[in-house]
Chain A
Amino acid sequence: MKLKSVLAIATLLITSLAASASVTINLGGAELFQSDGTTPIPTGSLIQLVVSTADNTFNLPSPTSFTGGSADDQILASFGTNDSSGPGSFLQPVVFTLNSAITTGDELLLRWWPTLTTSSSSPGNSTPFGQFRTDNVENFSTINWTVPADGTTNDLNFLDTAGGGTEPNSAGTASFMTAAIPEPSALALIGIGGVLIAVRRRTKA
């Protein structure tokens, strides 16, 4: 009898674990600016919602990787702005499934790329971007910038002053830029150059 109960509970647990769940975030943003801090990002600019699935730290993008080669950062959604509520704005439902990696409480990050579109496969060198997250629930959002509970539908907005919100416009500016990481061969050349300079100085002395 006891064994039967245990088996029944185990069956129920297995069934529950096998079931999938989803989360919807109605993600909004306004007004997002290019690197000059005054020009709205163009229509179709790439927007990404990134999640840190393990360490609650977001790697900066590199020219070859939107997640900077991070082992745990994942891009939950990529879409283009549609100026749905004026220049440099967007309003987009993002639906994703929780799994063993993406869990409730993982931190979320908004990232925007004024010079890229959804067809961009990688950032490229010296590409401007902006990013934002906060632990506060603000600007008509129903959650903060963390993954909400499964089965829920939520509003999450980034709104700066120009967009009718409370964040400063500087928070909506693409203030960052991808930086080239030197190739190994370039590193070797730099090293050789350094040695040569040192040798030359020593020779002069």
Chain B
Amino acid sequence: MNSLAFPSLQRTPSMSRFVSFFCALAALALLPAVSSAVETDPVGFTTAACPANSDTYVSIPFTRIPEFTGAIASISGNVITVSGSPGWSTDPNPQQWVYNTTSHKTYFVLIGPHSTTNPNEGRQYLITANGSNTLTLNLAGDDISGVQPTTQILIIPYQTLASVFPASDANVSFIPSASAFNRQTQILIPNYTGTGINLSANITYFFLNNAWRKVGDNLANDHGDDTLLTDGYFILRNAGTGTNLTALGGVLVKKEAIPLITRTSGQQDNFVSVTRPIGVSLNNLGLISSGAFASSPSAFNRIDQLFVFNNAATGLNKSASATYFYSNGAWRLVGDPTGDHGADLIAAGTGFIIRKGATANGSTQFWQNSPTY
């Protein structure tokens, strides 16, 4: 049993966000588990001010609490068989790890570490079906055939609109809307699957009549169970009243691998975040060490770029407040192309854009981030 300390917590008041509290609740099994068991990771919360009449680029720096931790026994295609006999609920009863209106949860598998090597460590896959000891995954084109038996996996519910913004939080983290046309707090979801750059958010939610509604859908439908990507972000757009968002959850102590889409014919924007409850420096993001971020020949010929937003600034549809690129062995800032900006922080709970330059094969590149705590 290992206890976990957080000696390196940093405050980032400029982003109106700070880590408030951590509580190490239980031990961490850093080596692969060999049986079905639930382990509890540290939990915590952060708060963020979301100004009035403004867009705030928000991510949730915590996962929800993992509900299963175990080890892989075997893999066949997109089906994982786990070790032991967990006896998961399956047909004709609701499948335990598949969304249903009783649990209100949608689950993903996080591929954990292996004692030797694991090319897929940190990647996340949506669970589409389960048997009593099997998981069928949506690999979204990825391949898990290289993942070895005894590799650790965690099953974690996605954050949802209702888990992040429960109705009980009305007038605190969000302002309910009086009508569909006079919308107060809106949640804008970036166009994760769009092609190109400068992509507008294409899904909009708002809270009306005690539930989350979606622009374009029948307003009788409750979208509270719609998921929020762990490694993405959303934009909280407030109207005339500012709000304060408190994010709760489990601290991710595993590696996290985030897919970065590229294409052959031009640049591609990726709307991302890191699930870390403390600010992460550019040097510690892991973008360079994992080979997912291309170095640029010069400030005038930038290949990959990283755009951050100033959440303290007011306004809608804000432009990025800073643009970074990597050149000559260091992180550079547009406007200061010779300075080393590797210590600049990505504030906890914020979203940013990685604009990938064109690649020869247009393949998805996985960026692996390791916790610094």
Contacts and interface: CB of A to CB of B under 8 A. Distances in A.
A198 B298 CA distance: 82
B188 A91 contact: no
Contact of A18 (B202, B217, B219, B266): B266
A91 B301 contact: no
B202 A24 contact: yes
Contacts of B235: 153
Contacts of A155: 183
Interface in A8-61: 8-9, 11-12, 15-16, 18-24, 26, 28, 30
A203 interface: no
B181 A163 contact: yes
Contacts of A91: 180-181, 215-216, 219
B56 to A, nearest CB: 14
Interface residues of B, number: 36
A90 to B, nearest CB: 9
A75 interface: no
B244 interface: no
A101 to B, nearest CB: 17
Contact of B201 (A24, A82, A142): A24
Interface in A127-167: 139-140, 142, 148-155, 157, 159, 163-165
A20 B300 contact: no
Contacts of B195: 20
A5 interface: yes
Interface residues of A, number: 41
Interface string B226-250: 0000000001000000000000000
B317 A153 contact: yes
Contacts of B218: 82, 84
Contacts of A154: 316-317
A144 to B, nearest CB: 14
Contacts of A150: 198, 200
Contact of B199 (A21, A84, A93): A21
B265 interface: yes
A148 B366 CA distance: 34
A95 interface: yes
A85 interface: yes
Contacts of A21: 196-199
Contacts of B191: 22, 95
B300 A9 contact: yes
Nearest to A149: B317
Contacts of A30: 181
A103 interface: no
B13 interface: no
B42 interface: no
B301 A11 contact: yes
Q: Is the interface of A mostly helix, strand, loop or mixed?
A: mixed
B39 to A, nearest CB: 40
Given A15-B357, A153-B200, A140 B302 contact: no
A95 B200 contact: yes
B34 interface: no
B287 to A, nearest CB: 20
A167 B18 CA distance: 45
A96 to B, nearest CB: 9
A12 B278 CA distance: 35
B204 A164 contact: no
B242 to A, nearest CB: 17
Interface string B182-222: 11000010010011111111111000000000011111000
B266 A140 contact: no
A151 B191 CA distance: 10
B204 to A, nearest CB: 5
A91 B216 CA distance: 5
B180 A28 contact: yes
Contacts of B197: 19-21, 151
A112 to B, nearest CB: 16
B196 A140 contact: no
13 contacts: A11-B301, A15-B267, A15-B358, A19-B266, A20-B266, A22-B191, A22-B194, A24-B201, A91-B181, A92-B215, A140-B182, A152-B316, A163-B181
Given A19-B197, A28-B181, A85-B219, 5 more contacts: A15-B267, A18-B265, A20-B197, A92-B215, A93-B204
Cβ-closest 4 pairs across A and B: A20-B196, A151-B198, A21-B198, A24-B200
